[in-house]
A and B are shown apart, each in its own frame.
Chain A
Amino acid sequence: DTAVSQTPKYLVTQMGNDKSIKCEQNLGHDTMYWYKQDSKKFLKIMFSYNNKELIINETVPNRFSPKSPDKAHLNLHINSLELGDSAVYFCASSQVFAGSTDTQYFGPGTRLTVL
């Protein structure tokens, strides 16, 4: 069983479109995250949710809107896609929020290409 899953794995779309990426974790964790890995391979936090509540929004444009319908899911909706949004997006989860010893479990990533 996959602990953290994301769909789709690949997403190719045109500029200006709206798209969503889904994330599910079956670990029973309270906290979920979205990270973005750009073309230079830098990984950076975008959002974190704890018990469905937004905790971190790292100055991400408001075209990006995370939604957490329940603790096991954290979806990422992106409006008006731009070329610079092309990246690999990783979802992650952890058992506790802001634990200095907790482990984050990452999904396989969604490669978004905006043409």
Chain B
Amino acid sequence: DAKTTQPNSMESNEEEPVHLPCNHSTISGTDYIHWYRQLPSQGPEYVIHGLTSNVNNRMASLAIAEDRKSSTLILHRATLRDAAVYYCILREQGSSNTGKLIFGQGTTLQVKP
């Protein structure tokens, strides 16, 4: 399984944008990039996913580099409620996909009021 690398922690001020980076230099051409987050004392929750093009949803935006070796999760206006551990996960297509999510250490985002 291709691996991802994320900074251990980041800080942000409330109501400012946050850019959470993820490196995945060994990504294959068919791997999807998924982001999940885990709020304190809760289970992980899905945030967004993409393949090649940038993606937007109500929670966040995902910017994918042209060579796909890195991506950035963008929270447009961080709130205190966005303080969580953010995980960048690659998911394979085809028969090698076993369905499991492989979590790394993630990035712990701290949001200051």
Contacts and interface: CB of A to CB of B under 8 A. Distances in A.
A97 B45 contact: no
Contacts of A100: 30-32, 91-94, 97
Chain A binding surface, main DSSP class: strand
Contact of B100 (A4, A33, A99, A106): A33
Given A41-B85, A100-B91, A48 B100 contact: yes
Interface in B7-39: 30-32, 36, 38
Contacts of B41: 109
Contacts of B94: 100
Interface residues of A, number: 29
B42 A55 contact: no
Contacts of B45: 105-106
Nearest to B49: A101
Contacts of A50: 99
Interface magnitude class on chain B: 20 to 34
Contacts of B91: 100-101
Contacts of B85: 41
Contact of A43 (B30, B44, B46): B44
Chain B binding surface, main DSSP class: loop
Nearest to A103: B46
Interface in A76-98: 90, 92, 94, 97-98
B64 to A, nearest CB: 14
A45 B41 CA distance: 18
A45 B1 CA distance: 14
B44 A55 contact: no
Interface of A: 4, 31, 33, 35, 41-45, 48, 50, 55-56, 58, 90, 92, 94, 97-101, 103-109
21 contacts: A31-B99, A41-B105, A42-B103, A43-B101, A44-B103, A45-B102, A48-B99, A48-B100, A90-B43, A98-B97, A100-B30, A100-B32, A100-B91, A100-B92, A100-B97, A104-B101, A106-B43, A106-B45, A107-B43, A108-B43, A109-B41
The 7 closest A-B pairs by CB, nearest first: A106-B43, A45-B100, A43-B103, A98-B99, A98-B97, A100-B93, A103-B46
